[in-house]
């Protein structure tokens, strides 16, 4: 063992860092701190200390705590020496209190907790009235309202991803204004049936909001979420709003009476947001008797773009999109795939839902695969 340690110590710093980077950061810090001054200098580097996962995975993949002796060394000797460099902590529930109380974490930016039950989460988080920024994924809209019922009254930035936005009879204090909230983003990939009843009233409470992100699928009875909706129910209610990023897909039945927005009207309404171009288009699907309207801000900052149709506008570049899906009742021709390949140069995942044969058979019917 002594001989192997001498050989390891003879390696240049660059090689040692490459070796240590392939180890678990916590294992690297635990094993090498205190061996000698040179190793201390290396493992004290932010490469190994700014992002720590302080638990283990058992053979069946479940999460479990470090041994008591290992926790004792971390809490008494290691964490107090590197606390100012730690930016992210991943902890499991049985040892998190011991670790969090071991020292102060002045540079901590993110905290991820695993195997934590609801009551424990309430105990720790719902007394943190000084929380300023929160990024969270929740199951339903009631969870979102629960977090905004006043317990985090200093919150100025809130990003929430909601699995389901369904109307709930659960009584929650969701009528008080949120004057300190400056940045809010809501994402939901499932269909929202109660946009006007749930999301719009929540936005009205954010009287001082400056930045808004809204990424939802909406189904309404008679009208799209169109220019009038956005102007009347959102923009006119937020006098300080200066950044509005959104991707809103709304669906209605085409046998209902509809008033379609024009692109020029939407662009006029958003004339105060100089950094954004607004893209809007409507698709009609006769087989399902539906009409889909998609309106979004451009540049498009999301990493996925779903349900692309033949009506997709040309000449746009989506630099951040890695995943796309294609869907239409009409066939996708060769030229369509060329347009898509040009607009999404970095795409890695593609899903296609279309059983209509191409009309133009002059080109190789499999050529579009090579385009990507």
Q: pLDDT tens digits for 67-96?
A: 888 888 889 888 888 888 888 888 988 888
How many percent of the chain have pLDDT more than 90?
Answer: 25
Phi, psi of 72 (to 5 degrees): -60, -40
In this predicted structure, what is the pLDDT of residue 366?
Answer: 52
What number is the average pLDDT over the span 18-42?
65
Whether residue 121 is predicted with pLDDT greater than 90 in this model: the reply is no
Whether residue 184 is predicted with pLDDT greater than 90 in this model: the reply is yes
What integer best gives the mean pLDDT of the chain?
Answer: 80
Whether residue 357 is predicted with pLDDT greater than 90 in this model: the reply is no
Alpha carbons within 13 A on the beta-carbon side of 90: 15
Whether residue 51 is predicted with pLDDT greater than 70 in this model: the reply is yes
In this predicted structure, what is the pLDDT of residue 1?
Answer: 42
Whether residue 2 is predicted with pLDDT greater than 50 in this model: the reply is no
In this predicted structure, what is the pLDDT of residue 50?
Answer: 78
- Residue 213 is encoded by which pair of tokens? 């992100």
In this predicted structure, what is the pLDDT of residue 25?
Answer: 63
In this predicted structure, what is the pLDDT of residue 348?
Answer: 93
Whether residue 269 is predicted with pLDDT greater than 60 in this model: the reply is no
Sign of CA dihedral 363, 365, 366, 370: positive
Q: Which helix (H) or strand (E) is 268 found in, with range?
A: helix 263-269
Query: Who has greater pLDDT, 255 or 99?
Result: 99
**Confidence category of residue 107, pLDDT binned at 50, 70, 90:** confident
What number is the average pLDDT over the span 303-328?
92
What number is the average pLDDT over the span 337-351?
93
For strand 56-57 and strand 183-192, is the pairing parallel, antiparallel, or unpaired? unpaired
Q: Is 63 exposed, middle or buried (0-12, 13-18, 19+ CB in 10 A)?
A: middle
What number is the average pLDDT over the span 125-129?
64
């Amino acid at each position: 063992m002594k001989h192997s340690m001498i050989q390891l110590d003879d390696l240049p710093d660059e090689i040692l860092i490459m070796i240590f980077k392939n180890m678990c950061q916590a294992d690297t810090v635990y094993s090498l701190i205190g061996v000698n001054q040179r190793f201390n200098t290396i493992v004290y580097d932010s490469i190994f200390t700014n992002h720590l996962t302080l638990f283990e995975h058992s053979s069946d993949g479940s999460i479990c705590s470090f041994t008591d002796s290992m926790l004792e060394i971390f809490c008494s000797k290691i964490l107090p020496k590197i606390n100012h460099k730690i930016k992210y902590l991943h902890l499991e529930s049985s040892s998190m209190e011991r670790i969090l109380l071991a020292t102060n974490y002045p540079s901590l930016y993110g905290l991820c907790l695993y195997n934590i039950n609801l009551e424990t989460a309430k105990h720790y988080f719902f007394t943190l009235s000084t929380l300023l920024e929160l990024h969270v994924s929740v199951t339903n809209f009631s969870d979102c309202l629960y977090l905004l019922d006043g317990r985090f009254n200093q919150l100025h930035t809130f990003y929430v991803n909601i699995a389901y936005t369904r109307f709930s009879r659960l009584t929650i204090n969701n009528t008080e204004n949120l004057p300190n909230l400056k940045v809010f983003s809501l994402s939901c990939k499932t269909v929202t049936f109660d946009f006007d009843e749930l999301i719009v009233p929540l936005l009205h409470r954010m009287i001082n909001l400056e930045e808004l992100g809204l990424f939802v699928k909406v189904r309404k009875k008679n009208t799209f979420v169109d220019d009038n909706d956005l102007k009347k129910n959102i923009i006119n209610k937020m006098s300080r709003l200066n950044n509005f990023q959104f991707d809103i897909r709304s669906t209605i039945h085409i046998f209902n009476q509809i008033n379609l927005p024009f692109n020029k009207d939407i662009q006029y309404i958003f004339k105060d947001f100089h950094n954004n171009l607004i893209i809007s288009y409507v698709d009609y699907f006769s087989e399902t008797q539906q009409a889909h309207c998609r309106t979004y801000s451009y540049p498009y900052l999301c990493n996925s773009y779903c349900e692309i149709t033949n009506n997709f506008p040309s000449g746009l570049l989506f630099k951040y999109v890695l995943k796309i899906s294609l869907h239409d009742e009409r066939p996708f021709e060769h030229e369509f795939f060329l347009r898509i390949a040009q607009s999404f140069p970095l795409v890695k995942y593609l899903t296609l839902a279309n059983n209509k044969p191409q009309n133009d058979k002059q080109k190789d019917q499999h050529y579009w695969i090579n385009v990507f």
